[in-house]
């Protein structure tokens, strides 16, 4: 597959065209940002870890009936994916209180919720990804009702599969954010699943093994990403 010109550069990935109009190459960077890009840094080795971890998890999810954009891992940092039109919704599932949820509700972090929650943010950096509900999504033509239903169904399946999978690695899946795209009219999982986009706590010690170490200046950021990767047991 021939890599052509760069289509887009995001905060954590670059995207390249290929000679197939249906396929793109994503290239994961070591760059890290937080708070809408106000905080910038580098997490050495992150690009390769997030690339390989996302692909490993997407293969697992495909087996469980969640279609994804994954086509083929090309090398440590690059993957061939289906070219989707991203649905401009950040889909967030929470199993425990943390982050903006804990802050908004005046809760401490790490309280188990009575059931998993799902929320949407409108993917718009200028507006700081505001929290919206499905009625806003419909009113703003961000997605159809059928798409929202499919996204909701897949998101809860992703949660069930990943919660069990991470539990087997001694990791509690606190919360995560995923994104979906449209590919020839079908909704499929796109973007990434990595310590950048999930809160992952060691089940025993509750040590944070995710990007909160970078966001909150907790130190040992690289070690945390490597520890998650090591537990995945990817050869």
Kindly state the smallest distance separating residue 101's Cβ from ligand TMP, in Å: 5
The stretch among 19-27, 55-63, 169-177, 222-230 that binds ligand TMP (CB under 6 A) is 169-177
CB of 30 to ligand TMP, least distance (A): 17
The secondary structure element, H or E, covering residue 216 is none
* Gap between the Cα atoms of 178 and 190, Å rounded: 8
| 175 lines the binding site for ligand TMP (CB under 6 A) | yes
Best CA proximity match to 230, nearest among 161, 159, 174, 169:
169
Assess 177 for contact with ligand TMP (CB under 6 A): yes
Q: Is 92 one of the binding residues for ligand TMP (CB under 6 A)?
A: yes
**Cα 170 from Cα 192, distance rounded (Å):** 21
In this chain, which of 16, 120, 166, 176 binds ligand TMP, going by CB under 6 A?
Answer: 176
Q: Which of 14, 163, 199, 208 binds ligand TMP (CB under 6 A)?
A: 199
- Cα separation values, 156 from 2, 70, 87, 94, 119, Å: 36, 20, 17, 10, 11
CB-count exposure of residue 115 (10 Å: 0-12, 13-18, 19+): exposed
Beta bridge partners of 175: 94, 199
CA–CA gap between residue 87 and residue 222 (Å, rounded): 31
> What minimum distance in Å lies between the beta carbon of 33 and ligand TMP?
9
Closest distance to ligand TMP from the beta carbon of 198 (Å) = 5
Q: Which is nearer to ligand TMP, 31 or 175 (CB)?
A: 175
Nearest to 220 by CA among 207, 232, 231, 230: 207
Under the criterion CB under 6 A, does residue 191 sit at the interface with ligand TMP? no
**Among the listed residues 101, 166, 180, 225, the single contact to ligand TMP using CB under 6 A:** 101
Binding mask 12-41 for ligand TMP (x = CB under 6 A): ------------------------------
Binding site for ligand TMP (CB under 6 A): 92, 98-101, 175-177, 197-199
């Amino acid at each position: 597959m021939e890599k052509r010109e760069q289509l887009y550069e995001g905060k954590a990935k670059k995207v390249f065209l290929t000679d197939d109009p249906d396929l793109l190459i994503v290239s994961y960077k070591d760059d890290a940002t937080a708070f809408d890009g106000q905080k910038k840094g580098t997490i050495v080795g992150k690009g390769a870890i997030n690339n390989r971890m996302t692909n490993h998890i997407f293969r697992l999810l495909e087996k469980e009936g969640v279609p994804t954009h994954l086509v083929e891992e090309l090398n440590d940092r690059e993957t061939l994916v289906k070219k989707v039109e991203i649905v401009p919704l950040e889909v967030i599932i929470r199993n425990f209180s943390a982050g903006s949820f804990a802050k908004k509700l005046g809760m401490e972090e790490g309280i188990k919720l009575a059931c998993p929650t799902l929320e949407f943010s409108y993917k718009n950096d200028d507006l700081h990804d505001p929290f919206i509900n499905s009625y806003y999504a419909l009113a703003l033509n961000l997605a159809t009702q059928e798409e929202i239903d499919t996204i909701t169904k897949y998101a809860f399946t992703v949660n069930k599969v990943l919660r069990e999978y991470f539990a087997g690695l001694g990791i509690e899946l606190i919360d995560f954010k995923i994104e979906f795209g449209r590919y020839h009219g079908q909704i499929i999982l796109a973007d990434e699943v990595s310590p950048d986009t999930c809160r992952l706590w060691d089940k025993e010690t509750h040590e944070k093994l995710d990007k909160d170490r970078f966001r909150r200046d907790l130190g040992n950021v690289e070690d945390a990403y490597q520890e998650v990767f090591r537990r995945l047991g990817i050869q």
